[in-house]
Every structure is written in structure tokens, then in C-alpha cells.
Amino acid sequence: MPKSTLDRTDRRILEHLQADGRLSNQELAERVLLSPSPCLRRVRALERSGVIHRYAAVLDPLRVGLELLAYVTVKLEKRGKMPVDQFTRAVQSWPEVITCFSMTGDMDYLMRVQVENLAHYSRFIMDKLLKQPGVIDIRSNFVLERVKETTALPLEHLA
């Protein structure tokens, strides 16, 4: 579903579901001023088109014992494609890595790493990341305070 086909009601549905993905169809319909059947049809269409990618529970990392959040940049050597392929496969298996992006600029990857504490982080770096072939530099930045954190995408540009 291209963004141009999303009308005001679709945008309102998306805003409400981003805030609370557990809303019942009845509650959602009331909030967007639709009857339940048309509301459900719109939600199903948004799911089929891939606009709604998935539903998930968002956990509080502190309440599950993951107190340290770090953003780690990684630079790989540029000899062939093999280190890149190996690295991307390895990242997929590391539960500590919450997100990983291939980047432009002087570093190749940016990873969001969530762990219990500094000792856990040190083990992750020494036993996993630095043992990957082709890793030539890493830089770590530790989060001191979460100023804003959301899973909701901005939708104003769709108006």
C-alpha cells in the first residue's frame, strides 16, 4: 500500500496501534470513529500491504536485568566480501545485539547492544565481537540516560 493511498483514517488507525497494539478492534473502531467491520477491514489491508509489519511486546530492559545500553561502531577490513558476510551472519546470532545497521562514513556498522552490566559487555566484546575476522576497529558509547525512546514512527508527512 503506497503512502499516497493512506487516508486520514488509516493514519489515525496506525497512530493508535503504535501507541497500543493490544487495542481490541472495538476499542480501535471507537477511537477512529468507525464501526468495527470497516475498521477491521482497514487493519487487515494495512497488514496485508506490509504497512503493519508485525506486533510485539516492548519490554523494559531494566525490569529484565539488562541495565547497560551501548552503541557500538565497527569497522571491517576491506579485503573482499568474506569478512562482511561472516560478520553479518555472526551478528544475527548474538542476542546482545538489538539492532545493527550498515552505515556510511568512517565506520561500517552501528550496533545497539543491551547487556546486564559492564562485565557482560566486556565478555561480549572480547569473546564475540573482537574474535570476528576482519574487525579492525570498534568504538563504544554508553547510554547514561534515556531521554526519549519510542517505537512509534512519525506519520505527519502522510497528511
pLDDT tens-place values along the chain, 159 residues long: 655 689 999 999 999 999 999 999 999 999 999 999 999 999 999 999 999 999 999 999 999 999 999 999 999 998 777 789 999 999 999 999 999 999 999 999 999 999 999 999 999 999 999 999 999 999 999 999 999 999 999 999 988
Domains of the chain (ranges; CATH) run 3-57 (1.10.10.10), 61-142 (3.30.70.920)
d(CA 128, CA 116): 16
Q: Does residue 99 sit in helix, strand or coil?
A: strand
The pLDDT of residue 2 is 58
The pLDDT of residue 40 is 98
Q: Does residue 78 sit in helix, strand or coil?
A: coil
Instruction: Provide the strand spans (E) within 44-151.
Output: 68-76, 97-102, 109-115, 135-142
Predicted TM-score (pTM) of the model is 0.86
The pLDDT of residue 83 is 83
The pLDDT of residue 79 is 74
Contact residues for 43 (Cβ-Cβ < 8 A; gap 6+)? 13, 17, 25, 28, 52
The pLDDT of residue 46 is 97
Question: DSSP code of 125?
Answer: I
- Whole-angstrom distance between the N-terminal and C-terminal Cα of the chain? 15
Farthest-apart Cα atoms in the chain, separation: 59
d(CA 68, CA 144): 9
Q: Per-residue DSSP letters for 47-63?
A: HHTTSS----PPP-GGG
The pLDDT of residue 81 is 74
